[in-house]
């Protein structure tokens, strides 16, 4: 079996179209529902096949022309060939399917997905990959499944204008970088108020010389407010020049009779890449938590206080747990700068924090968690020890969310509501909020 015809029936988590060949499921990237796809089989397993799209005869009526000239080569987007309305429908269906199949969540409990205000120009943070080939620098993104760098053709369509402008001004200056073959990545992070940080990843030995070059060549010509150098893990980040933070605003409309919250994070710290949709996440959390001002709230994987500090405005006390020390420092700074005194933060793992809190007999009416893509397998087994009435689970990966929701069901919690938020248009990735209540 090498070349086959596959009628595409639906879109699957992971972004590929799904059809059947000889009784096996076949996944084909860059297809649309309704395509009759001509496919070269690239992988054959016992229960499924994977294939490469060779063409469509006929193509689906749902297809649209991708606006990016390197779509299909660059590994950043997988759905530009689909109208945005189709993407929204597909994500809603995929989200329902994954939760239903793995965690037996009733589709009635899945609320409508919150679409993005704009399907392009939304990313506030971008990691540009760098490759030097025959003396020529390529600055873009990896091709899917490889370390081959595909150049961004002028501008990245899913990045915001500020990120693109920074890349445009930076690119000609990189020809003077002393060791371009030892520069694998450059990160850009932008804020809400024109602030921006630039982080160079360098794997060579000439650190002082590289820092001197950066200090002499970049401030002024490149429109950023801070420049940094990283030579290994995050603990090796050095400031070269400028400010250390970028900030974003949590609107006062989320806080009746209260002022807005201004949150910041330092270079290397985590933040959501889509500030507008981050507000949708926070608003959903605040609405579903339904805080009355008397509750104690535990925020696991709290980061820089993205949820902790908005929540603190509406409850008695928040305790934030996060194992990345820099993020804890950012959370403490953000609490102080916003005049929030009822939030305290601890640098430890979610599991370690839960064990310590349980051993000391601490009780929380609400537990909030926003784990990484791998989910919170160990933490969810310990949450019941703090006796919450409600659990709010923010997730960026439906399969690990569903796995953890199933485990929370064994701990006596049932899903009361869940909804996806489209944080990443043009990709298959799905952010979501799920409310669980004690049975």
Q: Which residues are catalytic?
A: 396
Distance, in Å, from the CA atom of 437 to the CA atom of 68, rounded to the nearest integer, reads 44
H or E element in which residue 285 lies: helix 275-289
Find all residues with CB under 8 Å of 426, minimum gap 6, and list them: 77, 78, 79, 80, 87, 119, 120, 157, 158
Three-state SS at 14: coil
Q: Is 15 left (phi over 0), alpha (psi -120 to 50) or beta?
A: left
Q: What DSSP designation does 404 have?
A: H
Question: Residue 3 burial by CB count (10 A; 0-12/13-18/19+): exposed, middle or buried?
Answer: exposed
Token pair, residue 204, equals 């060579």
C-alpha 421/C-alpha 284 separation (Å) is 10
d(CA 175, CA 263) in angstroms, rounded, equals 36
Sort residue 415 into left (φ over 0), alpha (ψ -120 to 50) or beta. beta
Cβ contact 259:250 at 8 Å:
no
User: Computed from CA positions of residues 84, 85, 88, 89, in that sequence, does the dihedral angle turn out positive or negative?
Assistant: negative
Cβ–Cβ under 8 Å, residues 121 and 155: no
* CA gap 61, 55 in Å, rounded: 14
Report the distance separating Cα 357 and Cα 12, nearest Å.
40
How far apart CA 90 and CA 33 sit, in angstroms, is 10
From 68, 43, 154, select the one nearest 427 (Cα to Cα): 68
Task: Check if the beta carbon of residue 231 is closer than 8 Å to that of residue 207.
Answer: yes
Q: Report the alpha-carbon distance of residue 33 to residue 83 in Å, rounded.
A: 12
Q: How far apart are CA 54 and CA 68, in angstroms?
A: 19
Give, in order, the Cα–Cα distances in Å from 382 to each of 233, 262, 278, 393, 400: 30, 32, 27, 14, 17
């Amino acid at each position: 079996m090498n070349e086959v015809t596959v009628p595409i029936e639906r879109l699957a988590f992971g972004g590929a179209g799904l059809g059947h060949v000889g009784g096996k499921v076949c996944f084909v990237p860059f297809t649309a529902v309704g395509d009759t796809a001509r496919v070269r089989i690239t992988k054959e397993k016992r229960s499924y096949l994977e294939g490469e799209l060779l063409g469509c005869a006929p193509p689906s009526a749902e297809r649209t022309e991708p606006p990016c000239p390197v779509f299909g080569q660059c590994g950043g987007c997988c759905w530009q060939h689909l109208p945005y309305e189709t993407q929204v429908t597909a994500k809603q269906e995929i989200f329902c399917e994954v939760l239903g199949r793995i965690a037996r969540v009733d589709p009635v409990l899945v609320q409508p997905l919150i679409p993005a205000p704009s399907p392009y120009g939304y990313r506030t943070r971008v990691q540009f990959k760098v490759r030097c080939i025959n003396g020529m620098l390529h600055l873009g993104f990896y091709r899917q499944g490889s370390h081959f760098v595909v150049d961004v053709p002028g501008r990245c369509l899913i990045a915001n204008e500020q990120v693109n402008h920074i890349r445009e001004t930076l690119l000609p200056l990189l020809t003077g970088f002393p060791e371009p073959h030892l520069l694998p990545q450059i990160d850009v992070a932008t804020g809400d108020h024109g602030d921006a940080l630039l982080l160079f990843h360098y794997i060579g030995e000439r650190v002082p010389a590289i820092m001197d070059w950066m200090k002499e060549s970049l401030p002024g010509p490149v429109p950023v407010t801070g420049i940094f150098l990283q030579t290994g893990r995050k603990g090796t980040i050095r400031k070269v020049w400028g400010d250390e933070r970028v900030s974003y605003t949590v609107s006062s409309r989320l806080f009746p009779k209260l002022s807005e919250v201004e949150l910041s994070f330092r270079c290397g710290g985590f933040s959501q890449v889509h500030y507008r949709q981050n507000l949708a996440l926070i608003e959903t959390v605040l609405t579903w938590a339904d805080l009355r001002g008397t509750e104690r709230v535990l925020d696991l994987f709290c980061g820089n206080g993205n949820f902790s500090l908005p929540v603190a405005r509406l409850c008695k006390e928040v305790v934030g747990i996060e194992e990345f020390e820099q993020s804890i420092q950012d959370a403490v700074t953000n609490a102080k700068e916003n005049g929030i005194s009822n939030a305290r933060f601890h640098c430890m793992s979610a599991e370690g924090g839960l064990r310590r809190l349980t051993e000391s007999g601490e009780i929380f009416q609400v537990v909030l968690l926003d784990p990484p893509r791998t989910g919170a397998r160990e933490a969810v087994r310990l949450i019941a020890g703090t006796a919450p009435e409600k659990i709010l689970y923010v997730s960026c990966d439906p399969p690990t969310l569903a796995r953890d929701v199933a485990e929370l069901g064994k701990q006596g919690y049932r899903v009361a509501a869940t909804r996806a938020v489209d944080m990443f248009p043009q990709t298959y990735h799905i952010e979501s909020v799920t409310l669980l209540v004690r049975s």
